[in-house]
């Protein structure tokens, strides 16, 4: 579904992403893990069109989409959430999801007669039910728990009926219980959509990932199925090394 070929990006002298190559198979969960500063978010930004690579290629279903701007990639079916929650906090849950549904209409009619909004509202209501948010429909997003805000964010991405869903640390700052819920939610989406997931915590992704890419200092350190990643001495060392450095 997505093929990344020899992708590189530097910020000044820092090689944030260094000759990265990998593939994400259709309707599977591919996770990118690695210690702080490994280059995970930068890799995401290069794939999703937020940043342009210095060199290398990104292919979506065999088509070269390198350097395509984010809005074009969104139109091609790539939806992403950001590491920092990116919602309209002063609007209700339903309105946040409704805007996403409306953006799929042939023209963006944000100033439209209320009676013409029934289709997006109906669609948004269905999505809220599916994501277990129906009881929070009228609450302001700013008043929700962190976990529910993340849930709204994923609901918004899915409202865009994407083919590829990119999630950057969706469980950041969550309690273990909230994390488990989001894991279950993400797992339930696989099969319908290709998921590209960034996670910080190795253990957390092991249950839900089909394939894991481990990044370290901009490079791909290892890739394979979760059990092989867990068993890899190089991966363990990278994580322990990062912990020692932080200590």
- Edge to edge, the sheet with strand 14-24 lists 14-24, 2-11, 55-60, 63-64
Determine, following the binding rule CB under 6 A, whether residue 245 of this chain makes contact with ligand ATP.
no
Which of 18, 30, 31, 42 binds ligand ATP (CB under 6 A)? It is 42
Nearer to ligand ATP, 36 or 106 (CB): 36
Three-state DSSP class for residue 112? coil
Tell the smallest beta-carbon distance from residue 40 to Mg ion (Å): 5
Cα separation, 96 vs 108, in Å, equals 15
73 secondary structure, DSSP code: H
Three-state DSSP class for residue 100? helix
Q: Which of these, 37, 53, 56, lies nearest to 45 by C-alpha position?
A: 53
> Which among 9-17, 23-31, 65-73, 225-233 is the span making contact with ligand ATP, rule CB under 6 A?
9-17
Determine, following the binding rule CB under 6 A, whether residue 167 of this chain makes contact with ligand ATP.
no
Residue corresponding to tokens 């939610």: 185
Determine, following the binding rule CB under 6 A, whether residue 53 of this chain makes contact with ligand ATP.
no
Residue corresponding to tokens 């529910």: 148
Nearer to ligand ATP, 83 or 161 (CB): 83
Nearer to Mg ion, 8 or 172 (CB): 172
Determine, following the binding rule CB under 6 A, whether residue 89 of this chain makes contact with ligand ATP.
no
Residue 36 interacts, among Mg ion, ligand ATP, none and using kind-specific CB cut-offs from 5 to 8 Å, with ligand ATP
Burial environment of residue 62 by CB neighbours within 10 A (0 to 12, 13 to 18, 19 or more): exposed
Nearer to ligand ATP, 40 or 150 (CB): 40
Determine, following the binding rule CB under 6 A, whether residue 37 of this chain makes contact with ligand ATP.
yes
Q: Which of these, 159, 99, 150, 91, lies nearest to 130 by C-alpha position?
A: 159
Window 200 to 239, contacts with ligand ATP (CB under 6 A)? 200
Residue 237 tokens read as 């060392």
Residue 118 interacts, among ligand ATP, Mg ion, none and using kind-specific CB cut-offs from 5 to 8 Å, with none
- Contact set with ligand ATP (CB under 6 A): 11, 14, 16, 34, 36-42, 83, 200
């Amino acid at each position: 579904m997505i093929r990344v070929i020899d992708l590189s990006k530097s910020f000044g002298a820092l090689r944030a992403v260094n000759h990265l190559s990998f593939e994400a198979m259709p309707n599977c969960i591919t996770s990118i893990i690695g210690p702080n500063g490994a280059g995970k978010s930068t890799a995401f930004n290069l794939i999703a069109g937020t940043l342009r690579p210095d060199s290398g290629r990104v292919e979506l279903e065999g088509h070269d989409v390198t350097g395509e701007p984010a809005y074009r990639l969104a139109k091609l079916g790539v939806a992403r959430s950001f590491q920092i929650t990116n919602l309209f906090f002063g609007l209700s849950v339903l309105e946040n999801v409704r805007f996403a549904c409306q953006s799929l209409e042939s023209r963006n009619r944000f100033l439209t007669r209320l009676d013409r909004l029934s289709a997006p509202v109906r669609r948004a209501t269905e999505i809220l039910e599916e994501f277990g948010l129906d009881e929070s429909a009228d609450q302001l997003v700013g008043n929700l728990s962190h976990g529910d805000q993340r849930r709204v964010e994923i609901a918004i991405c899915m409202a865009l009926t994407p083919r590829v869903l990119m999630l950057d640390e969706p469980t950041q700052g969550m309690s273990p219980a909230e994390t488990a819920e989001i894991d279950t939610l993400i797992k339930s989406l696989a099969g319908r959509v290709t998921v590209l997931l960034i996670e910080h915590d190795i253990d957390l992704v092991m249950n839900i990932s089909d394939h894991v890419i481990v990044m370290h200092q901009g490079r791909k350190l290892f890739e394979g199925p979760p059990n092989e990643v867990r068993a890899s001495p190089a991966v363990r060392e990278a994580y322990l090394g990062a912990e020692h450095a932080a200590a």
